Amino acid sequence: MSGLALSLLDLEADAKVCFEAEDYQRRPGKWCAGCGDFGALNAVKRLLAKEQLQPEKMVFVSGIGCSSRFPHYVNAYGFHGIHGRALPLATGVKLARPELDVFVVMGDGDCTSIGAGHWIHATRYNANMVVLMLDNNIYGLTKNQTSPTTPQGYASMTSPRGAVLPALDPLQATLGISNASFVAQTADWVPAHLYATLQAAYEHPGFSFVRILQRCPKFTDDIFAENVKNPDATELLVHEEGVDPPGLEKLFKARRVHDPKNIDEARSLARRTDMLRLGIFFRDDSMPVYDEVRAVPPVTPQEKINRLNKEFERYAV
Which H or E element spans position 101? Answer: strand 101-107
pTM to 2 decimals?
0.88
Least trusted range by pLDDT, from 7-11, 92-96, 114-118, 136-140 = 7-11
pLDDT at 297: 75
Burial bucket for residue 304 (CB in 10 Å: 0-12, 13-18, 19+) = exposed
* 285 neighbors 205 (Cβ within 8 angstroms): yes
User: Is the confidence at residue 13, as pLDDT, over 80?
Assistant: no
Instruction: Domain 20-313: give its CATH architecture.
Output: 3-Layer(aba) Sandwich (3.40)
pLDDT per position as a tens digit, 248-295: 999 999 999 999 999 999 999 999 999 999 999 999 999 999 988 877
Going by their DSSP bridges, the two strands 207-213 and 182-187 should be labelled as parallel
For all residues of the chain together, what is the average pLDDT? 92
pLDDT at 5: 45
User: Is the confidence at residue 4, as pLDDT, over 70?
Assistant: no
Average pLDDT on 189-214 reads: 98
The residue among 276 and 304 whose pLDDT is bigger is: 276
pLDDT at 206: 97
Average pLDDT on 131-155 reads: 95
What CA–CA distance (Å, rounded) separates 175 from 98?
Answer: 25
What CA–CA distance (Å, rounded) separates 45 from 127?
Answer: 23
CB atoms within 10 A of CB 203: 12
User: Is the confidence at residue 118, as pLDDT, over 80?
Assistant: yes
What does 102-134 look like in DSSP terms, one character per residue?
EEEEEEHHHHHTTTHHHHHHHHHHT-SEEEEEE
Could you tell me the strand order of the sheet in which 129-135 lies? Answer: 77-80, 58-62, 101-107, 129-135, 207-213, 182-187, 276-283, 234-238, 255-257
The residue among 146 and 297 whose pLDDT is bigger is: 146
Least trusted range by pLDDT, from 178-182, 201-205, 311-315 = 311-315
Average pLDDT on 54-79 reads: 96
Going by their DSSP bridges, the two strands 234-238 and 207-213 should be labelled as unpaired
User: Is the confidence at residue 7, as pLDDT, over 70?
Assistant: no
What CA–CA distance (Å, rounded) separates 187 from 212?
Answer: 5
pLDDT at 15: 53
> Per-residue confidence at 2, pLDDT binned at 50, 70, 90?
very low
